[in-house]
Structure 1
Amino acid sequence: MYLQGQARGVDSAEISDKLQSAGFRLEADALQDIIRFLLLTFRSGGKHNVSGDELVSKLEEGSGKWSKASLQVVHRLWSEHGASVHTQQKVQGALGIGRIVDMQWKLGMAVSSDTCRNLNSPYVTLQLKIAEPSGFIRQRSFEMSVQQFQNFHQQFKEMAAVMETV
């Protein structure tokens, strides 16, 4: 769905949860490697506009470890969705930046610390979910003072106003 432009990214944590609920355990690093490989394979197939037979043939040439059932699944998926992936890859070629998928913030106040004297000042924690060009959704969080957050908010409003005119 991501490669077809129907999703903003691939959330490996969500996929991991689904696999675990189905009784299949896989380390996070291994899952991310699998996702990267499949994205690279399908993205490459989309860029070069290959057929399902060509894609399966290239996979077989690259490694003899593919089971017949796995190759059939890849072939079926590519036959059904390859054309739309090809179309989306043309569009994606022009865009190479991450996109903000979700943004959450919360207001906090530090009230005690062993190393800091200047407490009782509020801060804002900002958490961003960013769909990177690779397809993965990354979470980034940072803290800022209330004044910094207000400036940040104002800059976002200005950017939104400029984007509406485009």
Structure 2
Amino acid sequence: MPAAEESFGMNSVVDNICRLPPDVLKDACQHVLTYLQGQSSGVDSAEISHRFQRAGVTLDHEALQSIIRFLLLTFRSGGKNKLPADELLSKLEEGSNKWSKASLQVLHVLWSEHGALVHAQQEAQSMLSIGQLVDVQWKLGMAVSSDTCRSLNSPYVCLLLKITESSGQIRQRSFEMTIPQFQNFHQQLKEMAAIMETV
């Protein structure tokens, strides 16, 4: 997207945010912050839309979604970079000159209260975001030629792991083991399974 179009899109979202009464903006931000702090499973845009309508704010679906995406991106980025409230607002003002003082004040107060919690939740998620094993395939093979191996005609096990990463993408990882390495691996898996049954 060219810079002019990107700037126009940003200004359009900021215009819509600034049209919101402070209490309605605060409510929408709290929905997003609750999710980013791990206290809800997602941001319910239908609920936010109903609250906007009750407050007399009419926005089309795409404008509402743009506001929610903007708030998610802003708060997620602020948490990731551990930005204090003043710095977060400076970045917002650099991105658009359309901000109203009332909207910035709401964002400042909420980020001052919740920014550290969002950062802590993101830290915890990054530490826990290990891949989930989806599938394991294996095959037994025999080494018959090699540039580096002297002992040919020795069996090996090739493992193919399918792992779902935290981004949702499935990756494949493969590696080879000698028979003694595979037997050791198998023993470790049995020990882990036994320990997990006691938990």
Question: TM-score per shorter chain, which class?
Answer: 0.5 to 0.7
| Residues 165 and 43 of structure 1: CA distance in aligned 2, closer, same or farther (over 3 Å) | farther
Is residue 36 from structure 1 mapped to residue 36 from structure 2 by the alignment? no
Query: Match of 1:93?
Result: 126
| Residues 94 and 11 of structure 1: CA distance in aligned 2, closer, same or farther (over 3 Å) | farther
Cα distance, 1:24 vs. partner? 1.2
Select the residue among 47, 55, 63 that pairs with 2:96. Answer: 63
Query: Match of 2:110?
Result: 77
Cα distance, 1:45 vs. partner? 0.3
Cα distance, 1:95 vs. partner? 6.0
TM-score after normalising by structure 2:
0.47
Across the aligned residues of Structure 1 and Structure 2, the Cα RMSD in angstroms comes to 2.4
**Ranges of 4+ aligned residues in structure 1 off by more than 3 Å:** 94-97, 163-166
| Residues 70 and 164 of structure 1: CA distance in aligned 2, closer, same or farther (over 3 Å) | farther
| Residues 8 and 63 of structure 1: CA distance in aligned 2, closer, same or farther (over 3 Å) | same
> Residue 93 of structure 1: SS of its match in structure 2?
helix
Query: Match of 2:35?
Result: 2
Q: Which has the larger radius of gyration?
A: 2
Provide the C-alpha distance between the structure 2 equivalents of 1:164 and 1:27, rounded to a whole number of angstroms.
52
Is residue 25 from structure 1 mapped to residue 27 from structure 2 by the alignment? no
| Residues 39 and 95 of structure 1: CA distance in aligned 2, closer, same or farther (over 3 Å) | farther
What code does the residue aligned with 2:45 have?
S
Q: Which runs of 5+ in 2 are unaligned?
A: 1-33, 131-165, 168-195
Cα distance, 1:94 vs. partner? 4.8
Query: Which deviates the most, 31-40 or 14-23?
Result: 14-23
Identity of aligned residues (%): 71
Provide the C-alpha distance between the structure 1 equivalents of 2:65 and 2:129, rounded to a whole number of angstroms.
20
Provide the C-alpha distance between the structure 1 equivalents of 2:46 and 2:198, rounded to a whole number of angstroms.
37
What code does the residue aligned with 2:85 have?
G
Select the residue among 83, 88, 107 that pairs with 1:50. Answer: 83
What code does the residue aligned with 1:27 have?
D
Q: Which has the higher contact order (CA 8 A, sep 6+)?
A: 1
Provide the C-alpha distance between the structure 2 equivalents of 1:74 and 1:87, rounded to a whole number of angstroms.
19
Cα distance, 1:68 vs. partner? 1.1
Q: CA deviation digits over 1:11-62, x for unaligned, max 9? A: 1011101111221111111101100000100000000101000000110111
